[in-house]
Structure 1
Amino acid sequence: MTDMMSNVKKQAMRWWSVMGCLAGVAGAESQVMWYAKPADGYGLKSPLKAWTVENQSPTAKANPDQAWEKYALPLGNGHMGAMMYGGVELNRIQLNESTLWAGGPGAKGWQQNLNKPDAYRYLPEIRKALLDGDQKKVKELSAEHLRGLGPDDRAEIIKIFGAYQTFGEIYIKSSHKEASKYRRELDLSTGVHRVRYEHGGKEYERTAFCSYPDRCMVIRYAGEAAQDLEFSMASPHEVKGTQDGKVFVFSGKVKNNGLELDCRVSVEHEGGSVSVSDAGISVKGSKATTFTLVLNTNYAPVVGTWRGEAAAKRSKKQLAAAVSHDFKALKQRHVEDHQALHGRVAIDLGKTDPKIAALPTDERMQLQKKGKPDHDLEELYFQFGRYLLIGSSRDGSLPANLQGLWCNEMVPAWRSDYHLNINLQMNYWPSGPCNLIECQRPLIDYTETLSKTGTAAAKAYFNARGWTANLTSNIWGFTAPNPGKNRPRYWAYFPLAGAWLTTHAWEQYAFEGDKRYLEEKCWPIMAGTCDFLVDSFYKLPSGEMSSTPSWSPEHGPASLGATCDIAMAREALMGAIEAARILGKEGKQVEDWKKLKDQLVDYKVGKHGQLQEWYEDIDNPKDKHRHLNHLFGLYPGSQISVAKTPELAKAAHVSLTQRGDGATGWSMGWKLNFWARMQDGDHAYILMRNLFKKGTNPNLLDVHPPFQIDGNFGGCAGMAEMLLQSHYHAEGGELELIPALPKEWHTGFYKGLRGRGGYTVDLEWKQGEVSKGRLSAERDGKVTVHFNGGSKQFDLKAGESVSF
């Protein structure tokens, strides 16, 4: 147990004592990741200044610092991220700031509109060639015209498009060269990292956290005896150290685009002396030393300039506000803020052998590759997913990227950007069900920005109203297909990305029920998407409306209509039409949306019994491709279900079985959710186990490979989907309790999972059957609850709860 009992456990104990059941409360204690060695103590390559030795490829590659990827532990507050190594003599901390990007304004060759302006003029010719079955001509025309402006060379593109980048590293040298009884841990319930050890018969502790309320990172050294410390920093950017009174300043710019960088470090000490110089901070003979660090750029999400307040000005204000609180107050403010989110959910999935539970986390992960399931570790993994979302996405921040906000390179794989054909969206699948819907707001803010820049893409490629985006984006509002003539279009052209993002804007309302949000923020996003769909979709000779030409993401030839496109369009239209009803919107605009929805290409079942990925029946039953976007309607969409569309669900089952249970980390996370929606708990559990064995590092971070955070979020969401599924209804909602419970989780409980319509569920089950539960309503409505082979209906007012 940590020094401070977690808020999760307190809440769980209160609730279960009221219910007359204390079984499983121990599951709420599975909140601490701990290790008996520093991150670089496992014999792995761990170079200082990893950016100096990294592979310059912008695509798949090994991380230059395997200790960082496999054993370092993350801290974050949505704006600033840190990876903690936990060294004794040299404590190394890698730093990120979420807006630290190359490319964009200031970069040579950059312009806001990188869309090919007359691309839409070639659509009739491309469509005719596709209808004629001339794939060669389709390929030639699309490679020439359905692309963005810019160089063909990827290395040149990245200079314009940009990439997320590391800020650098902190080095804190201690006078302690040896340690015994070493332990480092990350308490997920408090968001606090600790290192404890003994040196010379004395006990020492190092504490660190990234505070959202105070926009700072705090690092504290304390012990039974005084110690000497030397604080310094290194960065790959054009920055240098200076002294500003008692504050160490490490500031400069990004060479590629001139983005301002400013880091400031204040120090407080008990006893001894402190000196600050251009090289860093020197501490002599202090029994307790606290470093408070702030980090900023001058980025702002302002279309066109993408610049805001000076980085130095931001940092000065933040540091002054932070140091007005002592360490105890800073920590308390941080913990209270963190627990207000993380403490909402408790979960217990079964018992773990006490001997295994007592092992360090990395050893337990190793056992998972060949041993029996460790249910406490599964709970830890689930809570780690929620922890990562809190750490990488908070109000006012950018959304989580391909690595959340933790990146130790200058040229990370796939630029650590925003991939819009699954990866960015997958990052937010846990937000609603796992009771962190506020953490999705940065995604909605980001989508709102793209809805402004994306009007140019809609106009250029379809001569359409509204807005859209394509395969990848960045913090500079990029919505064009990537340039490059010699790559298949499915690597760049994906104009349904905007529709997929729009479904998240609707999901925000489905969980929160904020009508003002629906009117002021969500409606413009949805309306722009649906107007684009009306103008861009094409009437086939059959009379069906389709997204011609079309490519299934990263897979297959050009099609008259990839199933995923149609499914995403249908989902976006369904949400917008319901929003129009709620808001009382009527007229030709809404009628056009309804007409398009009714004319969309239907799902097709192919010759192998599969749900077709393309309009054409060309699926290969031996294909094991990682992308399964054609099953969007099953998950995360709402169009296919075992109960309401059994034939389509059967076809989806065939597709899932054909694709198999392997793949990259994020793909296994998606398959886990698919099988949960199929309500096959044992098969979903196979995917969860595979994700543990083949897609998760000892520090629980997902590996694509390399590290890619979407698998963590997909895995977390999938576990929630196994325990609770929900459906929005105009009058309230519908909940399915433990719909995909595997035999391994035969007895357990959870508290605080959330359903669409504004419902929170607390549940206990024994031997696979619901034994007790409580349903709490956040707004007025009727809800149907399915469990134990039957159903119950409740008509609840906001704030009411009912036990069953």
Structure 2
Amino acid sequence: MRPLRGAGFPESLSAGRVAVRLEAEGREGISFDCRLGRCHNWTDEMGREGDTIWFTSGCGEGGISFCVAARVRISGGTVGIIGQTLTVENARNAEIYLAVETSFRHEDFVRACRDRLDRVWEKNYEEIRSAHCRDYRKLFGRLELAFAQEDPGLEALPVDERLQAVKEGKEDIGLVSLYFQYGRYLLIASSREGSLPANLQGIWNESLTPPWDSKFTININTEMNYWIAESGNLAECHLPLFELLERIKENGKETARRMYGCRGSVAHHNTDIYADTAPQDLCITSTFWVMGEAWLATHVWEHYLYTKDKDFLEKHFDILEQSVSFFYDFLTEGPDGTLVTSPTISPENTYRTKDGKEGHLCEGATMDVEILQELFLCYIGACGVLGKEEARIRKAQEVCSRFPKLKTGRYGQLLEWMEDYEEPEPGHRHISHLYGVYPGTTLTWQETPELMRAARRSLDRRLENGGGHTGWSRAWIIGLWAHFGEGEKVYENLQALLAKGTFPNLMDNHPMGDGFVFQIDGNLGAAAAVLEMLVLSQQGRVVLLPALPEKLNGGSVCGICLKGGASLSMRWHEGRVTWLKLDAKDEFKAQLEVNGTEESIALAAGESLERTY
């Protein structure tokens, strides 16, 4: 084979247009054939027109159809079309231009695809490459992270060799920062304005029959995909989730009315690109759970807290409104006067009663209570910001006051169900009842210390019984340890994730059958957890280095976003902050804790605060 150099770039990460450049090394030119297609036994229609080849196909009756088109531009040599194949002979270099479109957004998707190709053809490769780099850098370059203990010598090694060394018990601090930035890269590449949200595999699915249909599981996985978006300074990457959520809201109104006779909107544990909201699958431990849309709705308030974008909050306020309205009708009053979900489940888990029977359905699972508390607090906060009438706020506050109190059990653990059941699988991958610790905000050491101790005991029990065996579960565990303030546990589980939950290319793995499959949530959830160990930002408090491991006791970060509308840069040495800078994008007020000392901070929009310690 003749030596070649090549690179390919999308014009932008949401343009649907790609350019690939191939260059010959040495005197001989390059020759190749370019043909579009996929695996055999599919009904593909191929064609040519002028200097363009294209093919269209679909996914069966009622499925999505698509079109791909290509042209080649060369320097030297010749290019032609034989049948449906582009042929290049003896070129010094060749540039392949590709465009793609589907029937999901365009009725005449073939014409839309050809128009895309015409637009990219008007530019040269260097213009496209430069546009791509600008588009990527404006997002990726916002946040930098480095640890003082990183070994530059290890950075020259291939990633698979570095991971193998970690599996053998060796230290590689640089892998932590690399894994973190890799997570940000994955979100930038898979979730951009005008695209669909990142699904279980982000956008990296090679199969026509992928695990779990490569869609959106909304009892943890989709939500985890976006934990890094705001704090990781990638707020724009969060927007595709809200576009999907608007469609979920509309479909969920029909589901709420027809299934439950309720107002408002509801979604269950799974959805897809069509924003399906009805129960999916035949798995009793997953299917009958009405909290999917409620959890997603809290992301609306989360985005506002970081960006202070009031127009955004007004635009998507109805997502919160419709979700809250559903529970006004759906909640059931118990004998003690509390309001609970019924029937429900604790996602994908099973309990065992005193007489040895195993069950799934229950009333008022702990996670439901915690999500409801979070949802109603988000709704009340949004009503206040937008100046909604007091009657709405009072009604929400009254309902919120009637949610059940959380309970502890015989092992000192936080109960997952209202009863102190035994667990057939105490090391279960889901840690649903700790939602209130993280990503929720209702359980904290300041406000609920006894429940935090119980939640910590629950996490211990999960790990003592083999928990954390999926990548995404381990990522959640890392975030929980950060909120418990236990840096050494954070580091221990980061190492476990790298050693046991990561493919050689840094993608997160998930056990399936006798092997493993890729799931993106572990990558993105762990990236978020790294920031949680560096900064705690919630309920008007900002705590720096709340869970810093000894092995990471020196370093710097630039560009972490904080709730309230500010960004933070800081340096630390021997576990203590030595310098910080706050830049307020909006009026910013917080209780700031640095090196164990707390002070009140108030900055005007555009104002900065810089301190040396």
TM normalised by structure 2 equals 0.93
CA distance in 2, matches of 1:564, 1:374: 36
Deviation at 1:258, TM superposition (A): 4.7
Which residue in the other structure is 2:198 paired with?
Answer: 400
Of 286, 290, 311, which aligns to 2:109?
311
The reply to whether residue 375 of structure 1 matches residue 170 of structure 2 is: no
SS in 2 for 1:439: helix
CA distance in 2, matches of 1:255, 1:481: 23
Identity of aligned residues (%): 34
CA distance in 1, matches of 2:267, 2:435: 18
SS in 1 for 2:230: coil
Of 417, 436, 439, which aligns to 2:234?
436
Deviation at 1:223, TM superposition (A): 3.5
Stretch deviating more after TM superposition (366-375 or 572-581): 366-375
Offset from partner CA, 1:519-565 (integer Å, 9 cap, x none): 122x1000000011111111100111111222100012222210001
CA distance in 2, matches of 1:623, 1:648: 19
Report the residue type matching 1:764 in the other structure. Answer: R
Offset from partner CA, 1:398-434 (integer Å, 9 cap, x none): 1111100111111111111110100111110100111
SS in 1 for 2:495: helix
CA distance in 2, matches of 1:464, 1:274: 64
The reply to whether residue 768 of structure 1 matches residue 562 of structure 2 is: no
Which residue in the other structure is 1:126 paired with?
Answer: none
CA distance in 2, matches of 1:234, 1:363: 35
Of 690, 693, 701, which aligns to 2:496?
690
Map 1:652-671 to 2 at 5 A. 652-660=455-463, 662-671=468-477
Which residue in the other structure is 2:99 paired with?
Answer: 294
Which residue in the other structure is 2:326 paired with?
Answer: 532
Which residue in the other structure is 2:481 paired with?
Answer: 675
Which residue in the other structure is 1:33 paired with?
Answer: none
Which residue in the other structure is 2:289 paired with?
Answer: 494
Which residue in the other structure is 2:514 paired with?
Answer: none
CA distance in 1, matches of 2:541, 2:417: 32
Structure 1 residues 654 and 235: alpha-carbon distance in aligned structure 2, compared to 1, 3 A threshold = same
Of 314, 325, 332, which aligns to 2:123?
325
Which residue in the other structure is 2:429 paired with?
Answer: 626
Report the residue type matching 1:427 in the other structure. Answer: N
The reply to whether residue 520 of structure 1 matches residue 315 of structure 2 is: yes
The reply to whether residue 724 of structure 1 matches residue 535 of structure 2 is: yes
CA distance in 2, matches of 1:608, 1:439: 42
SS in 1 for 2:503: coil
CA distance in 2, matches of 1:478, 1:755: 33
Of 512, 518, 522, which aligns to 1:707?
518
Deviation at 1:619, TM superposition (A): 4.5
Which residue in the other structure is 2:559 paired with?
Answer: 752
Stretch deviating more after TM superposition (217-226 or 331-340): 217-226
The reply to whether residue 551 of structure 1 matches residue 354 of structure 2 is: no
The reply to whether residue 791 of structure 1 matches residue 591 of structure 2 is: no
Offset from partner CA, 1:682-721 (integer Å, 9 cap, x none): 1011111111111100111111131111111111111111
Structure 1 residues 278 and 800: alpha-carbon distance in aligned structure 2, compared to 1, 3 A threshold = farther
Report the residue type matching 1:755 in the other structure. Answer: L
SS in 1 for 2:472: helix
TM normalised by structure 1 equals 0.72
Of 362, 382, 389, which aligns to 1:586?
389
Deviation at 1:478, TM superposition (A): 1.0
Root-mean-square deviation (Å): 1.6
The answer to whether the 8 A contact 2:221-2:521 is kept is yes
CA distance in 1, matches of 2:385, 2:276: 32
CA distance in 1, matches of 2:190, 2:178: 18
The reply to whether residue 276 of structure 1 matches residue 101 of structure 2 is: no
Q: Which runs of 5+ in 2 are unaligned?
A: 351-359, 512-516
Of 46, 70, 75, which aligns to 1:241?
46
Q: Which runs of 5+ in 1 are unaligned?
A: 1-174, 177-198, 301-307
Higher relative contact order (CA 8 A, sep 6+): 1
SS in 2 for 1:363: helix
Deviation at 1:588, TM superposition (A): 4.0
Offset from partner CA, 1:626-682 (integer Å, 9 cap, x none): 001111100110011123321111011000000005311110011111111111111
Report the residue type matching 1:460 in the other structure. Answer: R
Structure 1 residues 619 and 754: alpha-carbon distance in aligned structure 2, compared to 1, 3 A threshold = farther
The answer to whether the 8 A contact 1:205-1:221 is kept is yes
Offset from partner CA, 1:46-103 (integer Å, 9 cap, x none): xxxxxxxxxxxxxxxxxxxxxxxxxxxxxxxxxxxxxxxxxxxxxxxxxxxxxxxxxx
Deviation at 1:483, TM superposition (A): 5.2
Deviation at 1:439, TM superposition (A): 0.4
CA distance in 1, matches of 2:297, 2:223: 10
Count of aligned pairs between the two proteins: 589
Deviation at 1:587, TM superposition (A): 4.8
Report the residue type matching 1:271 in the other structure. Answer: G
Which residue in the other structure is 1:617 paired with?
Answer: 420
Structure 1 residues 274 and 622: alpha-carbon distance in aligned structure 2, compared to 1, 3 A threshold = closer
CA distance in 2, matches of 1:757, 1:370: 43
CA distance in 2, matches of 1:587, 1:770: 43
Map 1:414-453 to 2 at 5 A. 414-453=212-251
CA distance in 1, matches of 2:142, 2:63: 42
Deviation at 1:371, TM superposition (A): 3.3
Which residue in the other structure is 1:86 paired with?
Answer: none
SS in 2 for 1:388: helix
The answer to whether the 8 A contact 2:70-2:96 is kept is yes
Structure 1 residues 720 and 276: alpha-carbon distance in aligned structure 2, compared to 1, 3 A threshold = farther
The answer to whether the 8 A contact 1:746-1:767 is kept is yes
SS in 2 for 1:491: coil
CA distance in 1, matches of 2:148, 2:447: 32
CA distance in 2, matches of 1:700, 1:483: 31
Deviation at 1:295, TM superposition (A): 1.1
Of 413, 419, 425, which aligns to 2:211?
413
CA distance in 2, matches of 1:577, 1:284: 67
Deviation at 1:372, TM superposition (A): 2.2
Structure 1 residues 500 and 693: alpha-carbon distance in aligned structure 2, compared to 1, 3 A threshold = same
The answer to whether the 8 A contact 1:238-1:254 is kept is no
CA distance in 2, matches of 1:721, 1:659: 21
Report the residue type matching 1:717 in the other structure. Answer: A
Deviation at 1:281, TM superposition (A): 1.7
SS in 1 for 2:231: coil
Deviation at 1:445, TM superposition (A): 0.9
CA distance in 2, matches of 1:612, 1:353: 44
Which residue in the other structure is 1:563 paired with?
Answer: 366
The reply to whether residue 602 of structure 1 matches residue 408 of structure 2 is: no
The reply to whether residue 650 of structure 1 matches residue 461 of structure 2 is: no
Deviation at 1:354, TM superposition (A): 4.1
Report the residue type matching 1:535 in the other structure. Answer: D
Stretch deviating more after TM superposition (367-376 or 322-331): 367-376
Which residue in the other structure is 1:472 paired with?
Answer: 270
Report the residue type matching 1:502 in the other structure. Answer: A
The answer to whether the 8 A contact 1:242-1:277 is kept is no
